[in-house]
């Protein structure tokens, strides 16, 4: 089972940006007025970075925020999440930074969260000097692996990204050990249910944990049974939503596995991109692809006319 790290991080970052900044970049968080509206500029960033994405990208966000010092001019926050080593990463940070500045002529704060497995890779600047001319961009970097030494402390940290960090670290550790992953997932689920959070936040964070710590159906059912047992002994009404979400995920995983099987029987070994696309699709989309499969003569026709 291939892990999908991009989607859960994107969803939780967008919904809980202030918490994300407070947990990973507290100095920057303190310089932003979070009582005022902020806006994501995803389409603008995509347009600005066409042709500049050398190497694979995981997740990047551009956000317009208000400054805490009372200045009228807003601040542009450029955040990159990088999941693997990339020799061109620092240069890309620089390119995106100057393109954003060139477009808006406003201060830009760039920062990076590195989710890869390396201890030593920490790109934090890009620049060059030629003759008497010098240019350099320095940007703060947070390495998720550094939290491995503090995993016990994270269990009691009230910021939701403490649990997200734990889920990601456990996902990396248990890629080849489904039983250990089930144990970690159940532990994080219990920690989540102990939080004094509103219903929607509980459900959102459970979705993130569930997405990062994907399990085979047989082991996933044991987690769902645990949630059911807790629900029986409490008045936590939102637990029914977690159970329902778990059942829906189980249905989706079964549909995805079945579609992948029949695709491989007809078309042979599937590209990794196709496998990931099927594994993360919604149930309704999987049903449409299954109907396309009946008449498809080539693999591309299964995914046509979406």
pLDDT tens, residue by residue, 112-139: 999 999 999 999 999 999 999 999 999 9
DSSP H helices, the chain, are 6-15, 17-24, 26-30, 42-48, 89-104, 151-154, 160-173, 178-193, 199-212, 217-232, 239-267, 272-279, 283-295, 299-302
Q: Which residues are CB-neighbours of 35 under 8 A, at least 6 positions away?
A: none
Which residue bears the tokens 């994907």?
214
Q: Give me the chain's average pLDDT, please.
A: 86
The 10 Å CB-count burial string (b at 16+, else e) for 67-79 is eeeeeeebbbbbb
**Confidence band for 216, pLDDT divided at 50, 70 and 90:** confident
Q: Which residues are CB-neighbours of 117 under 8 A, at least 6 positions away?
A: 145, 172
Is the CB of residue 150 less than 8 Å from the CB of residue 179? no
Predicted TM-score (pTM) of the model is: 0.76
CA distances from 247 to 221, 223, 224, 252, 282 (A): 9, 11, 8, 9, 13
What does the domain layout of the chain look like in residue ranges? 26-139
**Confidence band for 246, pLDDT divided at 50, 70 and 90:** low
For residues 91 and 305, give the distance between their C-alpha atoms in angstroms, rounded to a whole number: 37
Which residue would you say has higher pLDDT here, 80 or 215? 80
User: For the chain, what is the radius of gyration of the CA atoms?
Assistant: 22
What pLDDT is stored for residue 235 in this prediction? 56
């Amino acid at each position: 089972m291939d892990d999908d790290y991009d989607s859960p991080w994107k969803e939780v970052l967008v919904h809980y940006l202030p918490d994300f900044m407070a947990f990973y970049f507290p100095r920057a968080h303190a310089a932003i007025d979070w009582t005022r509206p902020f806006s994501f500029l995803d389409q603008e960033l995509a347009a600005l970075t066409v042709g500049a994405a050398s190497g694979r990208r995981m997740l990047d966000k551009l956000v317009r925020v208000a400054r805490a010092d009372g200045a009228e001019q807003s601040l542009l926050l450029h955040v990159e999440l990088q999941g693997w080593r990339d020799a061109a990463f620092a240069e890309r940070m620089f390119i995106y930074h100057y393109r954003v500045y060139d477009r808006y002529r406003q201060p830009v704060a760039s920062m990076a969260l590195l989710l890869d497995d390396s201890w030593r890779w920490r790109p934090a600047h890009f620049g060059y000097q030629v003759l008497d001319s010098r240019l350099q961009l320095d940007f703060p970097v947070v390495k998720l692996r550094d939290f491995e030494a503090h995993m016990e402390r994270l269990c009691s940290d009230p910021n939701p990204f403490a649990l997200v960090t734990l889920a990601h670290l456990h996902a990396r550790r248990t890629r080849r050990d489904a039983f250990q992953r089930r144990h970690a997932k159940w532990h994080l689920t219990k920690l989540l249910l102990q939080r004094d959070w509103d219903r929607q936040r509980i459900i959102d964070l459970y979705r993130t944990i569930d997405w990062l710590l994907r399990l085979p159906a047989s082991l996933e059912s044991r987690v769902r049974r645990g949630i059911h047992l807790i629900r029986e002994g409490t008045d936590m009404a939102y637990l029914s939503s977690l159970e329902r979400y778990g059942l829906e995920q189980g249905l989706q995983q079964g549909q995805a596995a079945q579609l992948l099987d029949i695709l491989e029987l007809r078309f042979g070994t599937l590209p990794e991109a196709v496998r990931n696309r099927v594994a993360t699709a919604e149930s309704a989309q999987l049903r449409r692809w299954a109907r396309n499969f009946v008449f498809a003569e080539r693999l591309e026709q299964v995914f046509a006319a979406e």
